Amino acid sequence: MEKIKETTEFLKSKGFANPEIAIILGTGMSELAQIINVKAKLSYKDIPNFPISTVESHAGELIYGDLAGKRVIAMAGRFHFYEGYDFQTIAFPVRVMLQLGAKLLIVSNAAGGINPLFKAGEVMLITDHINFLPGNPLRGKNYDELGPRFPDGYEVYPKKFQEIAEQAALEVGIPLRKGVYLAIQGPCLETGAEYRMIKTLGADAVGMSTVPEALVAKHMSIPVAGFSVITDMGLPDHMEPVSFEYVVNNAKRAELTLKKLITKFIEKVEL
């Protein structure tokens, strides 16, 4: 709690004041990052108590500025369990962004498509999640100033924001899938048997992030809007080799789509 306060005060002193929306610029969001009218920017390594990013495809910068008429704070580069971080470390920057005043968290990620109607390169709006990770950022002492000991599972991704996202997709003419995101620890992609299991569990997409961040937002009563870029299909009866390059290429294909969709979404959101 002390660290959250210290980092929040530090960022306020650097001009990261009163953001309306927090964004985790996950896979597919680099085009969106380009159109933020940047007012302040810091490397994670220059922010006290921030973890440092290890994945090459992520930048590791905290950005503050205007986007589609709203004040936003954005993480370019997030932290994953498979990198070796614990869940509280993964959650820390999100808690700080929300403590700074953000009223909505927007998240994107790369995910394997489980629903056989999906295709690689499409975008899925997250309607709900399954925490299949081996832990939870809310484990341990509860910080009552942030939220309750036992947060409920009601509308982590509220209907109200899903409807705005669907309306935004209609207006910009983008097909938007909808479904349940299951988070798994990675870093291995799934075997055919695991994809089959995940489908049986009720998920439409599978990935290695997002759920820890969504859980701390829920804890702090902050709504989440989540978008998954389907980078490969997990079809148990049609398994093929999947390379990192294939995943990245399909993510790239979705970047313009996500830029248009999320810009319109931010424009339409009222907070």
Stretch that binds ligand HPA, among 88-96, 150-158, 181-189, 215-223 (CB under 6 A): 181-189
Which residue's Cβ has the minimum distance to ligand HPA?
112
Positions in 212-231 near ligand HPA (CB under 6 A): 231
Q: What's the CA gap between 101 and 217, in Å, rounded? A: 12
Q: Nearest CA to 113 among 167, 182, 200?
A: 182
Instruction: Establish if 207 lies at the interface with ligand HPA (CB under 6 A).
Output: yes
Stretch that binds ligand HPA, among 68-76, 152-160, 184-192, 252-260 (CB under 6 A): 184-192
| Min separation Cβ 234 and ligand HPA, Å | 5
DSSP letters along 109-168, please?
EEEEE-STT--TT-EEEEEEEEE-SS--TT-SS--TTT--SS---TTSS-HHHHHHHHHH
Q: Nearest CA to 23 among 267, 205, 266?
A: 266
Instruction: Establish if 137 lies at the interface with ligand HPA (CB under 6 A).
Output: no
Total H helices, total E strands in the chain = 8, 9
**Longest Cα separation, the chain:** 55
Stretch that binds ligand HPA, among 7-15, 97-105, 122-130, 201-209 (CB under 6 A): 201-209
- Kindly give, in sequence order, each residue whose CB lies less than 8 Å from that of residue 139, ignoring residues fewer than 6 positions away: 87
Instruction: Establish if 17 lies at the interface with ligand HPA (CB under 6 A).
Output: no
**Residue 162 or 231: which CB sits closer to ligand HPA?**
231
Instruction: Establish if 189 lies at the interface with ligand HPA (CB under 6 A).
Output: yes
Instruction: Establish if 36 lies at the interface with ligand HPA (CB under 6 A).
Output: no
The token pair that represents 110 in the structure block: 């790369």
| Min separation Cβ 147 and ligand HPA, Å | 28
| Min separation Cβ 204 and ligand HPA, Å | 12
Q: What φ, ψ does residue 268 adopt, rounded to 5°?
A: -85, -25
Stretch that binds ligand HPA, among 10-18, 97-105, 166-174, 202-210 (CB under 6 A): 202-210
Chain residues in the site for ligand HPA (CB under 6 A): 110-112, 184, 186, 189-190, 206-208, 231-232, 234, 247
